[in-house]
Chains A and B, each alone.
Chain A
Amino acid sequence: MPPPAPILRMSGIGKQFPGVKALDGVDLRLLPGEVHALMGENGAGKSTLIKVLTGVHPIDAGTIELDGRAVAFTSPLEAQQAGISTVYQEVNLCTNLSVAENIFVGREPRRRGRIDWPRMRARAVELLARLDLRLDVSAPLSAYSLAVQQMVAIARAIDIDAKVLILDEPTSSLDAGEVEQLFQVMRNLKEEGIAILFVSHFLDQVYEISDRMTILRNGRLVGEYLTRELPQVELVAKMIGQELAALEKLHGEAKEFGSPLVEARGLGRAGAIEPFSLTIHEGEVVGLAGLLGSGRTEIARLLFGADHAGTGEVAVGGTPVSLRTPRAAMNHKIAFCSENRKSDGLIPDLTVRENIVLALQATRGWTRPVPREQQDELVGRYVAALKINPADPERLVRDLSGGNQQKVVLARWLILEPRLLILDEPTRGIDVGAKTEIQRLVTQLSDGGMAVLFISAELEEVLRLSHKVEVLRDRRLVAELPNDDDLTSDVLMETIASGGRAS
């Protein structure tokens, strides 16, 4: 049976943001009655692709055809009217309005100019029945769980005679039963001939629901594949890519360490990470490997006290401690560089110097300022050691490039001389030179006795630095592998893909 003609065809899409080429020659086609998965790691260009499709951003190059006609939307509203509906990961509905209103607001059924509430409610009930949902449609949306809100968003999306339905990470906050319910709805919609573009980081889900997938990496198209023909290992390899960098292996050997520094026992938080146990020794580099959304960041945040743990306990140097706030963790000499520099790391309006001394100042309180000479000395030392460029401590940190901003955050923690340094994707979105420098630094620090928890999406990088690798999948710690000669990125990918079942 030949495949039907695509309902949507994007070809040669290019999009340039200041300083970054977000998309470069990307093609995507959606067939009616098919679930199409859009795959790629963070920064691969998935969300940019969705945004240019739905008219949030204009495209710089390429064409978009809907139903054979060239289109260029200038707003999400236009895209919607043309039949492309989007449901975002964060439910973009108004929880203060009723369920029925959330489905119909903006195009409420009216009679003689006034909103016909009974008809609106009746139609809402009807529409939700199509999704196998029975709700009190006059209750406020906030009364329902996120899963139900997601369904309501879908109901709103399909009421607009959608031809294309985009689901951007719809399952990231759902539990297993809710996911199943969502998939049933997706299958029903598929039967009706709607083309569904599905974005998810959960491989099992992608294999369960999707028929076809398009893989992106670093803003470029890797390829389009039938899901049943692409093994999971190959998918992971295509998403992550093999860097052919001929860099020396920095640690790469498993090693026995004596004194445990931080021990987590049964630590967990509902909806974020299943309870896990993990021991980090002095001088040890522990790598966390896993895809985006697998729970990497969640582990880091729990160990730093940025989130409250629901279960389990942490011991530092053998004594149980309570890590209820970042400050408590800092008192135990734990430091954390967040993956999200902009929102969780930098104060963009402050200078390089001020950003660097911030954590040190916080531990001293406002009454005991770090003397200016000491500030200048510390900042000067780290600006030089980390090669922060421009080497002007009085520059506003917002004016620095991504790599240098990352070094500023690193310097902030290094002057505290932590015993455990948690680095969440420290090399993401920065140039190769800075990347190597940061990797070398990690090695030096651990040689000096500092423990490092190193999180990266790039398996090569994890392998080059770590003494042991913890593998995560679907919010579970599934395996702990010593970094011996048998451990290669292929083995790691296999472990990620199989969820540790093979090993």
Chain B
Amino acid sequence: MTTAALDLSRRIPAKYVPVLVTGCLFVAMFVVGGIRYEGFASGQVILNVFVDNAFLLVVAVGMTFVILTGGIDLSVGSVVALSTMISASLMKGPGWPPYLVIPLVLVIGSVLGMVMGYIIHAFDIQPFIVTLAGMFLARGLCYTIGTDSIPIEDATFTAFAQTKVNLFAGMWVSPSVVIAAVVVLVAAYVLHYTRLGRAVYATGGSEQSALLMGLPVARTKITVYTVSGFCSALGGVLLSFYMLSGYGLHAVGMELDAIAAVVIGGTLLTGGSGFLLGTVLGVLVLGLIQTVISFEGTLSSWWTKIFIGLLLFVFILLQRLFSARRT
């Protein structure tokens, strides 16, 4: 028994395998891209993936929390859109300052998430249906505010949109990337170093056991949906930096991108297994697919979706094989 255990620890623990696979895939895509296309193999290409997907990264972080507990959140895309809409309309109409608007938006997103979490937990309704209602609600609120795109002309927002944070060797990122990086680091810390984080994993592993082990399952479940709501709202703020507009049709289908990123990042949709690093890699892979297709030139944009679907299939199949072997 003890020797078997030692052997096991010497090899790569099984839980890191999916993340490693995604990492290898990313490197492989980057190398192939570098060989095939002029000007692909530069650090800035990767940084641009971050710049173009900072909001998705933040949203996917929230989604990771939810999926780790075994739930799902379909409302994220709509909450992103709602955040852009509220920000834009409040700044344009009554002329609210950004330092009031942004916290308000974050609070709204968090409260929405919390309410959904409460309904899911207290009334034992599937997360799928509850967050679907949340999706309709948020999108509906967007259209109630206005059906047209509202431009953002606020100085702070435009400054955020245009600032380049210079790194080294002439490479740069946008401030949104810095914010997204902070979110990722904080989230990774919470998941790894706090009781809340461990309760998230335990709940996803087995809700029944977590309850019998005396963990605060109710609080954990409500918290993850709150976190997801907060991240969606923050993602919305970052998207308004990027787009400089509020629009009810922003981020349509972003929930699917976020779920795909989390799954490709090796997180089990049944919960309890996965890492934030995987989600970051998942977002990078999705972004890199788009970059490759834009470099290819002749390939049309819909190949993105087909590739994402194929990747999803491969990863889900891999996960299925892994979990089948474990039991």
Q: Do chains A and B touch in the complex (CB under 8 A)?
A: yes
Interface residues of chain A, those whose CB is within 8 Å of chain B, are 75-77, 80-81, 86, 88, 92-97, 101, 105-106, 108, 110, 113-115, 134-136, 138-140, 142-145, 148, 156
Known: A106-B199, A140-B15. A94 touches B209 (CB 8 A): yes
Say yes or no: B2 contacts A92, CB within 8 Å.
no
Question: B272 contacts which of A76, A94, A139, A143 (Cβ < 8 Å)?
Answer: A94
Bound form: Cα–Cα A438–B320 in Å: 45
Interface residues of B in 1-51 (CB under 8 A from A): 1-2, 5-6, 8-9, 13-15
Name the B residues within 8 Å of A143 (CB-CB): 5, 8, 14
Closest to B193 in A: A114
Distance from B197 Cβ to chain A, minimum over Cβ atoms (Å): 8
What is the chain B residue whose CB lies nearest that of A104? B198
**A-binding segment of B149-157, B212-220, B255-263:** B212-220
Q: Do A105 and B199 contact each other (CB < 8 Å), given the known contacts A94-B210, A96-B272, A135-B5? A: yes
With a CB–CB cut-off of 8 A, which chain A residues contact B194? 113-115
Assuming the A-B contacts A96-B204, A138-B9, A139-B8, are A106 and B213 also in contact, with contact meaning beta carbons closer than 8 angstroms in the complex?
yes
B146 interface residue, CB < 8 Å from A? no
User: B90-119 CB contact bits vs A (8 Å, 1 = yes)?
Assistant: 000000000000000000000000000000
Partner among B1, B8, B198, B273 whose Cβ is within 8 Å of the Cβ of A105:
B198
CA distance A164 to B8 in the complex (A): 35
Q: Are A136 and B214 in contact (CB under 8 A)?
A: no
Closest A residue to B10 by beta carbon equals A136
Q: Assess the A96–B193 pair: CB atoms within 8 A.
A: no
Instruction: Report if A106-B195 is in contact (Cβ < 8 Å); known contacts: A96-B204, A140-B13.
Output: yes
Taking CB atoms, residues of chain A closer than 8 Å to B272 are 94, 96
- Chain A contacts for B9, CB-based, 8 A: 136, 138-139
Question: Which residues of chain A come closer than 8 Å to B208, judged between CB atoms?
Answer: 92
Nearest-neighbour CB distance to chain A for B326, whole angstroms, equals 6
Residue in A134, A138, A156 whose CB lies within 8 Å of B213: A156
Alpha-carbon separation in the docked complex, A106 to B217 (Å): 11
Chain A neighbourhood of B211, CB < 8 A: 76
Which residues of B, 188-242, contact A by the 8 Å Cβ criterion? 189, 192-195, 198-199, 201-202, 204-206, 208-215
Is the CB–CB distance between B212 and A140 below 8 Å? Answer: no
A contact patch SS: loop
A92 CA / B215 CA spacing, docked (Å): 12
- Asked whether, in the complex, the Cβ of A95 is within 8 Å of the Cβ of B205, the reply is yes
Chain B residue contacts of A140, Cβ below 8 A: 13-15
CA distance A148 to B204 in the complex (A): 22
Nearest Cβ on chain B to A420's Cβ, whole angstroms = 32
Which chain B positions have C-beta within 8 A of A142? 326
Interface residues of B (CB under 8 A from A): 1-2, 5-6, 8-9, 13-15, 189, 192-195, 198-199, 201-202, 204-206, 208-215, 272-273, 326
A445 and B201 alpha carbons, distance in the complex (Å): 54
Closest to A54 in B: B212
A96 x B209 contact (CB < 8 A): no
Contact A97 B198 (CB under 8 A): yes
Give A77 to B6 CA distance when docked, in angstroms. 34
Q: Can you name 26 A-B pairs with beta carbons within 8 Å?
A: A76-B212, A76-B214, A80-B214, A81-B214, A92-B208, A93-B209, A93-B213, A94-B272, A96-B204, A96-B205, A97-B201, A105-B213, A106-B199, A106-B202, A108-B198, A110-B195, A114-B193, A114-B194, A115-B192, A115-B193, A134-B2, A136-B8, A139-B9, A140-B15, A144-B5, A145-B1
* Alpha-carbon separation in the docked complex, A502 to B102 (Å): 83
When chains A and B are docked, how far (Å) is the Cα of A167 from the Cα of B155? 67
> Given known contacts A80-B214, A115-B193, A143-B5, is B201 in contact with A96 (CB within 8 Å)?
yes
Cβ B205 vs Cβ A94 within 8 A: yes
Q: How far is the CA of A27 from the CA of B119 in the complex (A)?
A: 42
Q: List 4 extra interface pairs beyond A88-B212, A108-B198, CB under 8 A.
A: A106-B199, A114-B193, A139-B8, A145-B1
Contact across chains for B205 and A106 when beta carbons are under 8 A apart: no
> Which chain B residue shows the least CB distance to A79?
B214
Q: How far is the CB of B112 from chain A (nearest CB, A)?
A: 28
Chain A: which residue is nearest B15 at the CB level?
A: A140
Complex contacts, B193 vs chain A, CB 8 Å: 114-115
Chain A residue nearest to B216 (CB atoms) is: A106
Closest 10 pairs between A and B when the two form their complex, measured CB to CB: A94-B205, A77-B214, A96-B205, A96-B272, A114-B193, A92-B209, A136-B5, A92-B212, A136-B9, A94-B202
In the complex, are the beta carbons of B205 and A97 less than 8 A apart? yes
Q: Is the CB of B13 within 8 A of A105?
A: no
| Docked-complex contact B209 and A136, CB < 8 angstroms | no
User: What's the minimum C-beta distance from A153 to chain B, rounded to whole angstroms?
Assistant: 9
Query: Which residues of chain B are near A138, meaning CB under 8 Å?
Result: 9
Closest to B204 in A: A96
Once the chains are docked, how many angstroms separate the CA of A101 from the CA of B192? Answer: 11
Q: Which residue of A lies closest to B208 (CB)?
A: A92
CA distance A97 to B8 in the complex (A): 15
Q: A142-B326, A143-B8 are in contact. Are A96 and B273 (CB under 8 A)?
A: yes
User: Residue among A80, A136, A145, A156 with the most chain B CB within 10 A?
Assistant: A136
Complex Cα distance, B215 from A438, in Å, reads 47
Task: Report Cα–Cα, A142/B15, bound state, in Å.
Answer: 11
B8 / chain A contacts, CB cutoff of 8 Å: 136, 139, 143
Are A97 and B326 in touch, CB under 8 angstroms? no
B205 neighbours in A (Cβ, 8 Å) = 94-97
**Nearest residue in A to B207 (C-beta to C-beta)?**
A94
* B residues near A75, Cβ cutoff 8 Å: 214
Q: How far is the CA of A115 from the CA of B215 in the complex (A)?
A: 16
Separation in Å of the A243 CB from the closest CB of chain B?
A: 37
On whether A106 and B5 interact (CB within 8 A), knowing A92-B208, A94-B209, the answer reads no
User: Nearest chain B CB to A490's CB is how many angstroms away?
Assistant: 42
* Docked CA distance A248–B215 (Å): 56
Chain B residues closer than 8 Å to A145, beta-carbon distance? 1
Contacts of A113 in B (CB 8 A): 194
Residues of A within 8 A of B209 (CB): 92-94
Contacts of A96 in B (CB 8 A): 15, 201, 204-205, 272-273
- C-alpha spacing A136/B14, complex, angstroms: 14
Q: Is the CB–CB distance between A136 and B6 below 8 Å?
A: yes
| List of A residues within 8 angstroms of B198 by Cβ | 97, 101, 105-106, 108, 115
Within 8 Å by CB of A92, from B6, B13, B199, B213, lies B213
Query: With A88-B212, A93-B213, A106-B213 in contact, is A139–B199 under 8 Å at CB?
Result: no
Do B2 and A135 have beta carbons less than 8 Å apart? yes
Q: How near does chain B come to A146, taking the closest CB pair, in angstroms?
A: 12
Q: Tell me the bound Cα distance from A101 to B326 in angstroms.
A: 19
Please, how many angstroms separate the alpha-carbon atoms of A96 and B15 in the complex? 9
Residues of chain A contacted by B202 (CB below 8 angstroms): 94, 97, 101, 105-106
How far, in angstroms, from A113 to B194 measured CA to CA in the complex? 7
Alpha-carbon distance A114/B193, docked complex (angstroms) = 5
Closest B residue to A116 by CB, please name it.
Answer: B193
User: How far is it, in angstroms, between the C-alpha of A86 and the C-alpha of B212 when the chains are bound?
Assistant: 9
The residue of chain B having its C-beta at the shortest distance from the C-beta of A140 within the complex is B15
